[in-house]
Amino acid sequence: MDTRVADDPSERRRSAIVERVETLYCDLEFGAVREWKTKHPGARAIGYMPVYVPREIIHAAGMLPVGVLGGDLEIVKGDACFQSYICHIPRSTIELGMNGALDCLDGMIFPSICDVIRNLSGMWQILFPGKYVRYFDVPQNFSDAIGGEFYERELRGFIADLEGLSGGKVSDDALRRSIGLYNENRRRVEAMYALRAERPWVVPSSELYLIMRAGALLDVEAHSALLDEYLDAARASRRPPLDMARVALRGTFCEQPPYELVRTLERSGCYIVDDDWMMVQRWYKSDVDTAGDPVKALVGAFLHRSPACPSIYLAEGEKGAELVQCARDVKAEGVLFAAPSFCDPALLDQPMTQAAVARAGLPHTSFLYSESTGQFQVIREQAGTFADSIKLS
Ligand code: SF4
């Protein structure tokens, strides 16, 4: 720790928080979920894969939504189900399922993001026949009359499934309350992102990343309390700024980058001032309405307030526009395009988003990673050179 901040009480509070969230990140046995279930006898936990599911509905059914994000573990059984050259997350998720780590989950939701996840949902049904499994489809038509109608049916079907599982009703009031709690959580997340964009030296991306990852495991209220604690400590920080390049990171929306990769980017001289990891926690661009029909409110928020993401259809001319605007808003000096190895959605999007970034005059570079990447020297040199070129131009 910097000697100028070692005696800062906010640093001690921050260290304790970071230690907690790092423990959660490293725990591939889902201890936090098991603990939650012990405290809530009879309540269920439902896993979901990236990038987006309406966690509000799971919460309103009295269940714990749990982000399943694969992990860096040795793949033995996972390679029997998928080609070993594709992205890592489906194989590590199978491995987690087969080694019993996901036994604490009473069901799994596989959102519509790519063929790999679609196939994984089918495999899950075969591998775990006693467990609830849902392939969660989202519309790619954003008109209320077409995509909206389809999505409303999908959401009501999902609610009916959860009611069948729990034996209880998901009332509109419960759903409105859950929507309100997730709105509050998103506001805190956005406050943390805004603080990082303003003073990235007081909110290091490696810490922000762990706090976001904790949101995949903790109950929404516990995560909001954690965000409050962290924001308090970060706002009081006396850490000094460093001469680093401000960059936006894109391509990490599904398979999450390993923590050491985020640390490597920081050590290479990059302040990440925006990113697209853990998108489920930032999905809607503004609050979901808490008045009226809550299902229709979720439908409207998805259709009209979803962020640009490779899993969402955008016409070719629109690709990259949101990224360019975001880069301007957060004063990014360049863009780092990262993509999980063999990720079709990320790599198909990249040429179009890169072209938009280039037209806007923003420097950019790209690299591949996997959640099991262990060697970072090459990425460190590339990102370091990129940061130097920005600072020297
Ligand atoms: S990393 Fe890419 S290819 Fe792999 S499951 Fe996710 S979206 Fe699909």
- Which residue, by CA, sits nearest to atom 3 of ligand 1? 343
Residue-level length of the chain: 393
Q: Which residue do the tokens 């992990």 mark?
A: 71
Its pTM stands at 0.96
Ligand 1 center from residue 118 Cα (angstroms): 10
Q: What is the pLDDT of residue 392?
A: 92
Ligand 1 center from residue 251 Cα (angstroms): 10
CA distance 245 to 392: 10
Residue 251 in contact with ligand 1 by CB distance below 6 A: no
User: From the DSSP assignment, how many helices (H) and strands (E) are in the chain?
Assistant: 14, 8
Q: What is the pLDDT of residue 30?
A: 97
170-210 per-position pLDDT tens digit: 999 999 999 999 999 999 999 999 999 999 999 999 999 99
Residue in 69, 252, 254 to alter for ligand 1 test, most ligand atoms within 8 A of Cβ = 254
pLDDT band with cut points at 50, 70 and 90 for residue 292 = very high
**Is 90 exceeded by the pLDDT of residue 295?**
yes
Q: What is the pLDDT of residue 225?
A: 98
Residue 338 in contact with ligand 1 by CB distance below 6 A: no
Could you tell me how far CA 127 lies from the centroid of its own chain?
A: 26
345-382 per-position pLDDT tens digit: 999 999 999 999 999 999 999 999 999 888 899 999 99
CA distance 61 to 56: 9
Residue in 99, 55, 51 with CA at minimum distance from that of residue 74: 99
8 Å CB contact between 49 and 110: yes
Residue 90 in contact with ligand 1 by CB distance below 6 A: yes
Full DSSP string of 2-36: -TTTTT-HHHHHHHHHHHHHHHHHH-TT-HHHHHH
Tell me if the bond preceding 33 is cis, omega within 30° of 0.
no
Q: What is the pLDDT of residue 179?
A: 98
74-106 per-position pLDDT tens digit: 888 888 888 888 899 999 999 999 999 999 999
Q: Enumerate residues 6+ apart whose C-beta is below 8 A from 160.
A: none
- What is the longest distance spanned by two Cα atoms in the chain? 63
**Is 70 exceeded by the pLDDT of residue 5?**
no
60-74 per-position pLDDT tens digit: 999 999 999 999 898
Q: What is the pLDDT of residue 85?
A: 85
**Is 70 exceeded by the pLDDT of residue 3?**
no
Distances (CA, A) of 199 to 194, 205, 268: 9, 11, 18
**Is 60 exceeded by the pLDDT of residue 341?**
yes
Q: What is the pLDDT of residue 177?
A: 98
Mean pLDDT of the chain: 95
Q: Enumerate residues 6+ apart whose C-beta is below 8 A from 238.
A: 4, 5, 8, 10
Ligand 1 center from residue 232 Cα (angstroms): 35
CA dihedral 133, 183, 21, 162 (to 10 degrees): -20
Apex CA 14: angle with CA 8 and CA 18, to 5°? Answer: 145
Residue 87 in contact with ligand 1 by CB distance below 6 A: yes
Residue in 343, 344, 350, 370 to alter for ligand 1 test, most ligand atoms within 8 A of Cβ = 343
Distances (CA, A) of 138 to 54, 214, 307: 11, 25, 14
Residue in 123, 125, 117 with CA at minimum distance from that of residue 81: 123
Residue 111 in contact with ligand 1 by CB distance below 6 A: no
227-282 per-position pLDDT tens digit: 999 999 999 999 999 999 999 999 999 999 999 999 999 999 999 999 999 999 99
| Ramachandran angles phi, psi of 246, nearest 5° | -90, 120
Provide, rounded to the nearest whole percent, the portion of the chain with pLDDT above 70. Answer: 98
Could you tell me how far CA 213 lies from the centroid of its own chain?
A: 7
CA distance 263 to 260: 5
Q: What is the pLDDT of residue 1?
A: 52
Q: Which residue has the higher pLDDT, 86 or 213?
A: 213
Ligand 1 center from residue 344 Cα (angstroms): 7
Q: What is the pLDDT of residue 6?
A: 63
Q: Find the mean pLDDT for residues 148-168.
A: 97
CA dihedral 152, 158, 160, 166 (to 10 degrees): -150
